[in-house]
C-alpha cells in the first residue's frame, strides 16, 4: 500500500509539474515562432506579399459559392477552381505559369479521353462497360505513371502527368454513374481554367516575382563568394610553421573566407576538395627552396583571381560590360593580367626547378601549383561566359572618364620657377615669388 501511495504521489507531482510548465513552454514556443516569422519576413518581404496574393486569389474564386447565380451555373464543380488555386499558385511567375499550363492541357486531354472511353465502353453493353472502363483506366494509368520516370518528363511535365491520371480516372469512373458526362466535364474544365487564369493574372500583375532576377542575383553572389574565398586564402598559401601568429591570422578570419567558399551554391559537389588540397597541403610541408620560390606566384595567383572574380560579380550586378572579357580580348583588367603573369612565372619556375629534390617533399607543392593553375583557367572560362552574357543581354558599357590635356607641365629643380610648354608655342617662364 505504501508503495502504491508513493507511486501515486510521484505521478501526481509529474502531472502537476507538467501542467505548471505548460505556460512557460507555450510562451517560449510563441516567442520562437514570432522570431522565425520576423526573420523570414525581413529576409524576403516578397514571401509576405505572396501569401496575401494566394489569399486574394482564393477569395475571388470562392465567389462561385458565395453568389447564387455562379453556383447555379457551375454547381459543386466550383470547388475545382479553389483546388486549382491552392495547387498551382507558386512563388514565381514562371512556376505558376508552368503549373497552370500543365494542369490545363492535362485536364483537357484527360477529359477528352475520358469521354471517348465512356462512349467506347457503352458500345460493349451494360455488362461489358465496367470491364472496358476498368481495363482502360489500368493501362492508361500504368503507362502514364511509367512515363514519370523519364528525366525530361519528370523535370517538366510531372505535375501534368499526375493531373492527367487523376482527371481521366475521375471522368471515366464518374461517367459510369452520371448520365450527363459532357456537362460534368465542361463544368470541371471551365472551373479549372478560371482558377488557373485567376492565378496567372494575379501572379503577373500583382507584385510579380521573376525567377530570372533571383537567378541573376544568385550567380553574382556565388561568384563574389568564390572571389572572397580566393582573395582571403591568398595570405594562407604555403605559409611556414609559425607564420600564422606573425601575420595576425586567427581562426575566425580563417573561417570567414572559408564560409564564403562553402556557401557558394555553384560548387555544391566539387570534384576535388579545394580547401583540403590547398590548406592541408600548404600547412603540413616543411620549408624548402622550391616552396620559397613559388610562394609569391601562388599568392598572387590566388589573390588576383579572387579580385578578378569580384570584378565579374560587380559587372553582373550592375549589368555593365566587364573589363576582363576573354583570354583573346585585348582589354583585360589589371587583375586578370596579374594572375596570368603569375601563372606564367609559376610554370617557368616548375620547369626550371631541379629534379634532385625529394619527391615526397615536393609532391604537395606540385599538387598545390596544379590546382592553382586549374583555378586560373576556370576563372578565364567564367570571364568568357560573363562576356558572352554581357553581349547577349546587352549590358551597358561602363562610363569612361577622360581627361583632356591642353599642355605638358615639366617639373624643374627650382621650386620658384615653373616652365609651361604650350602645344604649338614656345615655352614661357614665369617667376613665382614665394617669399
* pLDDT, tens only, 14-56: 777 778 878 888 888 888 889 888 888 888 889 999 999 999 9
User: Does residue 404 fall inside a structural domain?
Assistant: no
User: If you average pLDDT over every residue of the chain, what do you get?
Assistant: 76
Is the pLDDT score of 322 beyond 60? Answer: yes
Residue 198: the pLDDT is 92
Is the pLDDT score of 264 beyond 80? Answer: no
Q: Are residues 151 and 267 in the same domain?
A: no
SS3 178: coil
Q: Which residue has the cell 620549408?
A: 287
What percent of the chain stands above pLDDT 70? 69
* Phi and psi angles of residue 420, each rounded to the nearest 5 degrees, phi first: -115, 120
Q: Are residues 165 and 226 in the same domain?
A: no
User: Does residue 110 fall inside a structural domain?
Assistant: yes
The dihedral built from the CA positions of residue 246, 247, 252 and 258, taken in this order, carries a sign that is negative
User: Does residue 201 fall inside a structural domain?
Assistant: yes
Q: What whole-number distance in Å separates Cα of residue 19 and Cα of residue 292?
A: 69
* Phi and psi angles of residue 155, each rounded to the nearest 5 degrees, phi first: -75, -35
Q: What whole-number distance in Å separates Cα of residue 305 and Cα of residue 307?
A: 5
Domain termination site, one of 159, 186, 205: 205
Mean pLDDT of 230-237: 75
Per the CB < 8 A criterion, the answer to whether 329 and 318 are in contact is: no
Alpha helices (H) in 234-331, listed in sequence order: 243-247, 251-263, 274-275, 281-284, 289-318
Confidence label for 420 from pLDDT (cuts 50, 70 and 90): very low
Q: What whole-number distance in Å separates Cα of residue 89 and Cα of residue 82?
A: 11
Neighbours of 315 (CB within 10 A): 25
Q: Are residues 190 and 222 in the same domain?
A: no
For 164-219, how does the pLDDT look when each residue is reduced to its tens digit (9 = 90+)? 998 888 887 776 555 566 777 777 788 888 889 999 999 999 989 888 888 888 88
Q: Are residues 18 and 126 in the same domain?
A: no
Domain termination site, one of 205, 239, 272: 205
Domain termination site, one of 205, 228, 253: 205
Q: What whole-number distance in Å separates Cα of residue 324 and Cα of residue 329?
A: 8
The interaxial angle of helices 289-318 and 359-392, nearest 10 deg, is 20
Q: Are residues 196 and 237 in the same domain?
A: no
Per the CB < 8 A criterion, the answer to whether 345 and 310 are in contact is: no
User: Does residue 167 fall inside a structural domain?
Assistant: yes
Q: Is residue 419 within a helix (H) or strand (E), and if so which, with residue range?
A: strand 417-422
The dihedral built from the CA positions of residue 347, 376, 257 and 333, taken in this order, carries a sign that is positive
CA 280 → CA 263, 289, 295, 343, distances in Å? 20, 19, 15, 21
Q: Are residues 327 and 185 in the same domain?
A: no
User: Does residue 248 fall inside a structural domain?
Assistant: yes
Per the CB < 8 A criterion, the answer to whether 110 and 163 are in contact is: yes
Closest CA to 305 of 236, 251, 374: 374
Cell of 50: 505572396
Q: Are residues 283 and 173 in the same domain?
A: no
Mean pLDDT of 286-315: 84
Q: Are residues 114 and 90 in the same domain?
A: yes
Q: What whole-number distance in Å separates Cα of residue 59 and Cα of residue 65?
A: 11
User: Does residue 194 fall inside a structural domain?
Assistant: yes
Q: Which residues pair with 430 in a beta bridge?
A: 418
Closest CA to 311 of 392, 382, 400: 382
Q: Which domain, by its residues, includes 6?
A: 2-40
Q: Are residues 197 and 324 in the same domain?
A: no
Strand order in the sheet with 428-431: 407-410, 417-422, 428-431
Q: What whole-number distance in Å separates Cα of residue 336 and Cα of residue 325?
A: 9
User: Does residue 179 fall inside a structural domain?
Assistant: yes
Confidence label for 363 from pLDDT (cuts 50, 70 and 90): confident
Q: Are residues 225 and 362 in the same domain?
A: yes
User: Does residue 401 fall inside a structural domain?
Assistant: no
Q: Are residues 131 and 26 in the same domain?
A: no
Residue 73: the pLDDT is 65
Cell of 258: 572559408
Number of domains making up the chain: 3
Three-point CA angle 284, 223, 262, nearest 5°: 45
What percent of the chain stands above pLDDT 90? 18
Half-sphere exposure of 300 (CA within 13 A, CB side): 18
Closest CA to 178 of 275, 299, 290, 75: 75
Q: What whole-number distance in Å separates Cα of residue 114 and Cα of residue 172?
A: 5
Q: Are residues 354 and 263 in the same domain?
A: yes
Amino acid at each position: 500500500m505504501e508503495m502504491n501511495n508513493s507511486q501515486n504521489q510521484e505521478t501526481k507531482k509529474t502531472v502537476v509539474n507538467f501542467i505548471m510548465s505548460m505556460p512557460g513552454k507555450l510562451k517560449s514556443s510563441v516567442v520562437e515562432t514570432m522570431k522565425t516569422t520576423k526573420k523570414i519576413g525581413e529576409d524576403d518581404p516578397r514571401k509576405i506579399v505572396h501569401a496575401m496574393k494566394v489569399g486574394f486569389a482564393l477569395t475571388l474564386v470562392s465567389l462561385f459559392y458565395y453568389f447564387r447565380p455562379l453556383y447555379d451555373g457551375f454547381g459543386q464543380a466550383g470547388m475545382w477552381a479553389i483546388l486549382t488555386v491552392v495547387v498551382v499558385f507558386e512563388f514565381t511567375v514562371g512556376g505558376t505559369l508552368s503549373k497552370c499550363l500543365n494542369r490545363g492541357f492535362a485536364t483537357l486531354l484527360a477529359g477528352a479521353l475520358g469521354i471517348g472511353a465512356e462512349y467506347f465502353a457503352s458500345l460493349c453493353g451494360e455488362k461489358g462497360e465496367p470491364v472496358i472502363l476498368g481495363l482502360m483506366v489500368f493501362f492508361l494509368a500504368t503507362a502514364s505513371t511509367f512515363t514519370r520516370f523519364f528525366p525530361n518528363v519528370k523535370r517538366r511535365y510531372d505535375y501534368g502527368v499526375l493531373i492527367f491520371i487523376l482527371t481521366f480516372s475521375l471522368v471515366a469512373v464518374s461517367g459510369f454513374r452520371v448520365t450527363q458526362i459532357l456537362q460534368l466535364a465542361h463544368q470541371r474544365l471551365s472551373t479549372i481554367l478560371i482558377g488557373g487564369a485567376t492565378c496567372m493574372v494575379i501572379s503577373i500583375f500583382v507584385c510579380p516575382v521573376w525567377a530570372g532576377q533571383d537567378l541573376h542575383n544568385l550567380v553574382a553572389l556565388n561568384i563574389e563568394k568564390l572571389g572572397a574565398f580566393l582573395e582571403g586564402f591568398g595570405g594562407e598559401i604555403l605559409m611556414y610553421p609559425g607564420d600564422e601568429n606573425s601575420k595576425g591570422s586567427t581562426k575566425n578570419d580563417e573561417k570567414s573566407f572559408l564560409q564564403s567558399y562553402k556557401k557558394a551554391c555553384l560548387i555544391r559537389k566539387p570534384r576535388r576538395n579545394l580547401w583540403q588540397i590547398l590548406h592541408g597541403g600548404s600547412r603540413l610541408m616543411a620549408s624548402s627552396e622550391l616552396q620559397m620560390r613559388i610562394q609569391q606566384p601562388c599568392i598572387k595567383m590566388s589573390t588576383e583571381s579572387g579580385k578578378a572574380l569580384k570584378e565579374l560579380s560587380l559587372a553582373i550586378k550592375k549589368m555593365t560590360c566587364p573589363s576582363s572579357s576573354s583570354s583573346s580580348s585585348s582589354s583585360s583588367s589589371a587583375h586578370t593580367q596579374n594572375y596570368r603573369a603569375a601563372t606564367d612565372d609559376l610554370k617557368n619556375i616548375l620547369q626550371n626547378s631541379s629534379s634532385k629534390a625529394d619527391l615526397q617533399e615536393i609532391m604537395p607543392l606540385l599538387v598545390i601549383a596544379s590546382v592553382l593553375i586549374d583555378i586560373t583557367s576556370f576563372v578565364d572560362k567564367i570571364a568568357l561566359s560573363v562576356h558572352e552574357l554581357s553581349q547577349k543581354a546587352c549590358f551597358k558599357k561602363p562610363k569612361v572618364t577622360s581627361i583632356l590635356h591642353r599642355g605638358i607641365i615639366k617639373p624643374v629643380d627650382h621650386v620658384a620657377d615653373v616652365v609651361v610648354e604650350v602645344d604649338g608655342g614656345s615655352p614661357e617662364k614665369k617667376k613665382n615669388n614665394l617669399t
